[in-house]
Structure 1
Amino acid sequence: MIEISKAAIAEIHRMQTVRARPESKFRVSFGNGGCEKFYYTIDLADSIAETDRVYEVDGISVLIDGQHLGYLEHLKLDYSEDLMGGGFRFENPLATTVCGCGNSFSIEHVESERWQLPT
């Protein structure tokens, strides 16, 4: 289960409204690259894939691909605005290293072999 702050929930609702997609789901994932080995990705999705796990958080359907779940299941997601601009902030207790920007991370291992890293 991931944790999403009230500020992040409000920003997700704003994104859904601005993009005229109020029924969309919020996908959290990661890919290869960034300063560390992986970088976080977020997007609105209109459908649920067969491998997705769905979490309901304060009226938001959050999608995480089952193959990524072991790397994101304890993620804390926040949203804040500051002088450098606004954005989502990620806190992943499973990350072994994190880039200074907070959007790139690496993980040494995950307990279960069923979790696969993206290629």
Structure 2
Amino acid sequence: MTEATQTIERGIQLTPTAFKHIKMLQEQQGDRELCLRVGVRQGGCSGMSYMMDFEEPNKIQDTDEVFDYDGFRIVCDPKSLLYLYGLVLDYNNAMIGGGFDFTNPNAAQTCGCGKSFGV
């Protein structure tokens, strides 16, 4: 069981390390109101690739799923959530291969870099 799943169940989980890093990046953007949009798009070496970026709260759609982490929001469109439900987002500080890590229970295959997947 990861650290993220020990807390409230959410469709997209954040480990404490990922949460800390995302909050740091949010502060660097200079806007504490920004939310994180997570989704998928066609492409990548395994067929689909992960995408995430900060987004203004006024761009959240009525159909989006919103997960709250102590006032910080993760937003995901319903089509992406079909592929991402249960995703655990972690962060790794390694000099080689570091960055965000996606553990997706829906992925039948992943590429070597871990940034794309197939279902």
TM-score w.r.t. the length of structure 1 is 0.84
1:40 partnered with 2:50: yes
- Aligned match of 1:29: 39
- Aligned match of 1:74: 86
Cα shift at 1:45? 0.7
Q: Deviations over 1:70-110 (max 9, x none)?
A: 11111000011112163110000110000011111011xxx
Choose the corresponding residue for 1:9, options 13, 16, 19.
Answer: 19
Q: Is the 8 A contact 1:52 1:64 kept in 2?
A: yes
1:59 partnered with 2:71: yes
What count of residue pairs does the alignment treat as equivalent? 107
Residue aligned with 2:79, SS: coil
Structure 1 residues without counterparts, runs of 5 or longer: 108-119
Which structure: greater helix fraction?
A: 2
- For 1:99 and 1:85, locate their aligned partners in 2 and report how far apart those are by CA, in whole Å: 13
Q: Which runs of 4+ in 1 moved over 4 A?
A: none
- For 2:75 and 2:42, locate their aligned partners in 1 and report how far apart those are by CA, in whole Å: 19
TM-score w.r.t. the length of structure 2 is 0.84
- For 2:65 and 2:92, locate their aligned partners in 1 and report how far apart those are by CA, in whole Å: 26
Pair 78,58 (structure 1): closer, same or farther in 2 beyond 3 Å: farther
- Aligned match of 1:20: 30
Q: CA RMSD in A?
A: 1.2
Structure 2 residues without counterparts, runs of 5 or longer: 1-10
